[in-house]
Copies of this chain bind each other. A is one copy, B any other.
Amino acid sequence: MNTVEELTVKKGSLYGLGIGPGDPELLTIKAHRILTSVPVIAYPTMESGKVLARAIVADFIRPEQIEVPMPLPFSVDRSSQPYYDIAAEKIAEHLAAGRDVAVLCEGDPMLYGSFMYIFNRLSDRFHTEVIPGISSTFASAAMLGAPLTYRNDVLSIMPATLEADILRDRLAVADAAIIIKLGRHFAKVKAVLEELGLFSRALYIERATMPNQTIKEIASVVAEEVPYWAIVMIPSQTNPQ
């Protein structure tokens, strides 16, 4: 005889799936296994219609998998809280019905990732597993052929959205640095790097590992043309041989 407990549906598991910086071959074997086996796949979509995360893994998604788009506001000035609330509830419905859900995360899920907001809303209620992914930060070092840090070096990763004086203070004490989310902040970053005497050491890359990846001499970069997915890197000078 079934008890109520036995009749209760076993809840699904939530996976935060790091899918890497753009090259589908940079998915881990584990992320690929989970992606191709879960019944439900969720991913952020911008109001602009941009769906980068899904595009990275498009060839791995099967028609019978349920897709859950998570609309997010493009502007950071607008509160994203209601958007994440809605997305989390849509995901929770699938989990409560016993369906595993993989949330696609560009790069690594725990680093400036939209998944973290879903994690904070659902990990108490559902079994949650985070699968680390290749971050665009380190992928950029690989693509640039730039060893980043040796031995006692300190590496700092920071968004270009910071105020100029904070950028300057943080960069001044870093042995190596990666500045992400450049976009319209390039001119400010350039001025800070010049002030610190770091501009000649800086490397520049757009859309690392994507089909349209572009590496430029930083001195030739036109500020108005810098995309959001651009990174400036200051590799360590330590090189101990």
- A positions within 8 Å CB-CB of B: 16, 18, 20-21, 23-30, 32-33, 76, 81, 84, 108-113, 116-117, 119-120, 123, 128, 130-135, 138-139, 141-143, 145-159, 161-162, 166, 169-170, 173-174, 239, 241
Which chain B residues lie closer than 8 Å to A174 at the CB level?
156
- Chain B min CB distance to A201 (Å): 15
Q: Are A25 and B33 in contact (CB under 8 A)?
A: yes
Beyond contacts A120-B147, A132-B142: 5 other A-B pairs, Cβ-Cβ < 8 A, are: A108-B138, A112-B153, A113-B147, A133-B134, A151-B159
Which chain B residues lie closer than 8 Å to A143 at the CB level?
130
Q: Are B141 and A110 in contact (CB under 8 A)?
A: yes
Which chain B residues lie closer than 8 Å to A138 at the CB level?
108, 110-111, 132-133, 135
Q: Are B132 and A81 in contact (CB under 8 A)?
A: no
Number of copies: 2
Q: Are B76 and A151 in contact (CB under 8 A)?
A: yes
By beta carbon, the residue of chain B nearest A116 is B147
Which chain B residues lie closer than 8 Å to A173 at the CB level?
169-170, 173
6 A/B residue pairs, CB under 8 Å, sorted by A:
A26-B132, A109-B142, A110-B138, A110-B148, A111-B138, A130-B143
Q: Are A29 and B25 in contact (CB under 8 A)?
A: yes
By beta carbon, the residue of chain B nearest A134 is B132
Which chain B residues lie closer than 8 Å to A151 at the CB level?
76, 112, 159, 161
Provided the pairs A76-B151, A151-B161, A155-B158 are in contact, do residues A141 and B145 lie with their beta carbons within 8 angstroms? no
Q: How many Å lie between the Cα of A23 and that of B149 in the bound state? A: 23
Which chain B residues lie closer than 8 Å to A24 at the CB level?
29
Which chain B residues lie closer than 8 Å to A110 at the CB level?
138, 141-142, 146-149
CB < 8 Å: which of B18, B113, B157 contacts A154? B157
Q: Are A29 and B30 in contact (CB under 8 A)?
A: no
Q: How many Å lie between the Cα of A110 and that of B236 in the bound state? A: 11
Q: Are A139 and B128 in contact (CB under 8 A)?
A: no
Q: How many Å lie between the Cα of A151 and that of B76 in the bound state? A: 9
